[in-house]
């Protein structure tokens, strides 16, 4: 198969100094929650991307020295030669598939507190660290700057020894020491490294020159720069200092990797920004330099990618999240299969791995992070030794994923959905404000399932146990989802709270069914003990419908868990702009016909409010009636195997539901090791001699 003619430009090679990228698909550096703790897992993940056609595959940020320790985050390290083998494993794995391997050398300056090493953080001019620690950085003197340059050069040489083709000088995201020198709010120096922009650029210039001198004969030298901080005059502005910084260094690096700062802007979720939204901020760079330029913007559509190249905005299409959602995106473009791309939904569940110090995961791609640990591949699965007939009940994210991969293994699959539409919770939630991209979870899987001859699809097909057993299937997989509770049971009230029968109480399911509580102008209380997106999205929905909304939560702020997805600040700002009252640190005591009683989570003092209606966003009940009925009959001779997956097994995120369905399809009818064995490979630390220095 051939690429669409309009996409052929994306497959052209691009010269980057002494090396050549085989195409224009460029996986920019991104975190993964594995880093130096799990080097084989990282290598497996990066290798699959190279196999999938990404012409350049980069590491996450790579600490160059102990005084740039980002603990508890887990990133790469090149502190000394002992770190080379771990990074070499990734470089070798990437290059085995013909891609270039890039490493993002980083010193985090006052963005980190050095919690592991306890080194005093470094900064241009001192001051509190950006991390929420009662720690201040010390201002660097000229000897410190000289030492930093030596360490950066040494790390570049180690990177070359490890086999990398591209070595970064990192000045992006408000996380990098060179960026702190560029910034007037961090750099108040009066010497040759402060004051004028030319002086503030000096350190970055020297790092580029040092790196080129050290490894430029064999490695391309890239600069990652945030050209706009979206802070106005307090920060770097693309049309002003952003442009001038690029102009001052225009021809020095072999590649410009440009983005926005801070990270929440660079990786804005689809709830707040559309595909390609950064383009308007970075499109000037090509007019200032003749060197190749790579940029990002959650690009998922090859048409937009090709247009950016043809119109001279970018030379390479950068991606982090789209490369996570579909590691084989470039190969699908090259083979004319763009309709099969597993498009990123922009939910940032991938980012949450870094904040929770856990291996990366993805809503769309359940194999992400499991390539080495479990041997999962995003495009391949072992054929079934003996194809079976399987009935999957429920067409939500878990059921769709299980049906797709069971069918890919060769099983005969009947997929039955009780409702009139496919998608389950993602179909319902995608109709809520800002969540339209969640429909991609359904659309990708349905597109593939409809083409498979061994899959039969049945809508409007509610099944009871008798009907489910009548088909004679070898297995019945129950993926019937979950429903939101109406009794207030959740984290802060495990047994629920008294709710009067006459009280006007609603759940998210009611609102998704089109039932809006109260009348325009009347007050509605949303009690959010879930802490993810649902409470805040419903607040948006009701505010837009003219209700006076109060969001009450036991947490310190709205949608507290979304700090892990880089959304919380935007969510809080949007709710306040919509006039939503946010009441933190309150737990629900009870709901009566004439009011709601709440208590302070610290003092226990109670208070009452009198909304016209109350929406409880607390927890969900698995819908297990069918499974329990089937289980009660399982002693019948020759009965089918039974399984419970997704939210019906344990309510969680959409990513967890997809993962559950995928894992079942992988394991179905397979014989593994002992039931109590660890179900994946682990990278265990090697013990140094007890008396080692």
Residue 218 neighbours by CB under 8 Å, 6+ apart: 18, 19, 160, 165
Residue of 644, 625, 54 whose CA lies nearest to 334: 54
Instruction: Find the Cα–Cα–Cα–Cα dihedral 242, 248, 252, 256, rounded to 10°.
Output: 10
Tokens of 600: 């302070």
CA separation for the pair 36, 59 (Å, rounded) = 11
Tokens of 214: 């050290």
- Return the H-helix or E-strand segment holding 550: strand 548-552
What count of other Cβ atoms lies within 10 Å of the Cβ of residue 395? Answer: 29
- What DSSP character marks residue 239? I
Q: Are 582 and 572 in contact (CB under 8 A)?
A: yes
Residues facing 549 on adjacent strands: 524
To which residue do tokens 């410009």 refer? 256
CA separation for the pair 326, 77 (Å, rounded) = 27
Please give the backbone phi and psi of residue 392, each rounded to the nearest 5 degrees, phi first. -105, 120
What count of other Cβ atoms lies within 10 Å of the Cβ of residue 102? Answer: 29
To which residue do tokens 């919690």 refer? 115
Q: Are 187 and 112 in contact (CB under 8 A)?
A: no
Widest distance between CA atoms in the chain: 86
**Beta strand spans in 559-672 (E):** 581-583, 586-592, 595-600, 606-609, 613-617, 620-622, 641-644
SS3 138: strand
Cα separations in angstroms, 36 against 62, 162, 414: 9, 14, 44
Residues facing 478 on adjacent strands: 393, 644
Q: How many helices (H) and strands (E) does the chain have?
A: 21, 29
Residue of 179, 151, 282, 194 whose CA lies nearest to 235: 179
Catalytic residue numbers read 31, 170, 173, 266
Cα separations in angstroms, 347 against 29, 176, 299: 18, 25, 14
Please give the backbone phi and psi of residue 553, each rounded to the nearest 5 degrees, phi first. -150, 145
CA separation for the pair 205, 218 (Å, rounded) = 20
SS3 209: helix
Residue of 265, 581, 580 whose CA lies nearest to 433: 580
């Amino acid at each position: 198969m051939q690429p669409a003619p309009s996409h052929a430009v994306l497959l052209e090679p691009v010269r980057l100094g002494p090396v050549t990228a085989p195409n224009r698909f460029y996986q920019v550096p991104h975190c993964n929650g594995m880093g130096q703790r799990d080097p084989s897992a990282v290598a497996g993940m990066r290798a699959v991307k190279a196999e999938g056609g990404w012409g350049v595959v980069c590491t996450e940020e790579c600490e160059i020295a102990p005084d740039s320790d980002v603990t508890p985050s887990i990133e790469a390290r090149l502190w000394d030669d002992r770190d080379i083998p771990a990074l070499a494993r990734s470089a070798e794995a990437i290059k085995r598939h013909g891609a270039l391997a890039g490493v993002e050398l980083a010193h985090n300056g006052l963005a980190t507190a050095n919690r592991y090493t306890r080194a005093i953080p470094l900064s241009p001019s001192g001051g509190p660290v950006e991390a929420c620690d009662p720690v201040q950085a010390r201002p660097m003197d000229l000897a410190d700057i000289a030492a930093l340059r030596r360490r950066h050069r040494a790390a570049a040489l180690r990177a070359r020894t490890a086999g990398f083709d591209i070595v970064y000088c990192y000045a992006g995201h408000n996380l990098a020491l060179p960026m702190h020198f560029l910034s007037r709010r961090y750099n108040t120096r009066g010497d040759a490294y402060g004051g004028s922009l030319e002086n503030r650029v000096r350190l970055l210039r020297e790092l580029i020159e040092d790196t080129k001198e050290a490894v430029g004969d064999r490695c391309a030298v890239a600069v990652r720069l945030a050209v706009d901080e979206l802070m106005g005059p307090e920060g770097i502005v693309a049309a002003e200092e952003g442009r001038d910084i690029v102009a001052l260094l225009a021809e020095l690096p072999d590649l410009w990797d440009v983005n926005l700062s801070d990270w929440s802007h660079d990786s804005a979720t689809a709830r707040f920004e559309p595909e390609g939204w950064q383009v308007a901020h970075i499109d000037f760079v090509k007019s200032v330099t003749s060197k190749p330029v790579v940029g990002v913007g959650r690009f998922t559509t090859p048409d937009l990618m090709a247009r950016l190249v043809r119109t001279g905005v970018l030379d390479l299409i950068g991606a982090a999240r789209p490369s996570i959602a579909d590691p084989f995106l470039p190969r699908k473009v090259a083979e004319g299969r763009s309709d099969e791309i597993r498009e990123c939904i922009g939910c940032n569940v991938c980012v949450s791995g870094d904040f929770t110090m856990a291996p990366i995961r993805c809503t769309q791609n359940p194999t992400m992070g499991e390539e080495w640990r479990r041997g999962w591949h995003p495009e391949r699965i072992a054929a079934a030794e003996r194809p079976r007939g399987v009935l999957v009940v429920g067409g939500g994210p878990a059921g769709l994923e299980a049906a797709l991969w069971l069918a890919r293994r060769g099983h005969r699959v009947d997929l039955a959905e009780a409702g009139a539409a496919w998608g389950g919770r993602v179909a319902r939630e995608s109709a809520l404000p800002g969540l339209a991209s969640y429909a991609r979870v359904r659309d990708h899987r349905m597109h593939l399932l409809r083409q498979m001859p061994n899959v039969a699809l049945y809508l409007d097909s509610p099944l009871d146990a008798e009907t489910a057993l009548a088909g004679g299937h070898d297995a019945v997989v129950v993926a019937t989802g979950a429903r939101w509770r109406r009794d207030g049971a959740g984290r802060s009230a495990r047994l629920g709270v008294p709710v009067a029968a006459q009280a006007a109480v609603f759940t998210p399911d009611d609102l998704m069914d089109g039932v809006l509580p109260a009348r325009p102008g009347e007050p509605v209380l949303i009690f959010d003990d879930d802490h993810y997106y649902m409470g805040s999205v419903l607040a948006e929905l009701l505010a837009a419908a003219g209700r006076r909304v109060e969001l009450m939560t036991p947490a310190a702020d709205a949608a507290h868990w979304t700090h892990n997805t880089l959304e919380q600040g935007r969510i809080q700002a949007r709710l306040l702009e919509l006039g939503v009252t946010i009441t933190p640190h309150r737990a629900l005591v009870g709901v009566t016909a004439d009011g709601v009683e709440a208590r302070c989570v610290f003092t226990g003092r109670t208070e009452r409010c009198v909304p016209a209606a109350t929406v409880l966003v607390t927890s969900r009940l698995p819908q297990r009636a069918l499974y329990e009925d089937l289980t009660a009959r399982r002693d019948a001779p020759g009965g089918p195997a039974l399984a419970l997956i997704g939210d019906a097994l344990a309510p969680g995120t959409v990513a967890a539901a997809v993962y559950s369905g995928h894992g079942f399809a992988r394991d179905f009818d397979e014989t593994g090791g002992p039931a109590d064995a660890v179900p994946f490979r682990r990278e265990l630390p090697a013990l140094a001699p007890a008396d080692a220095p």
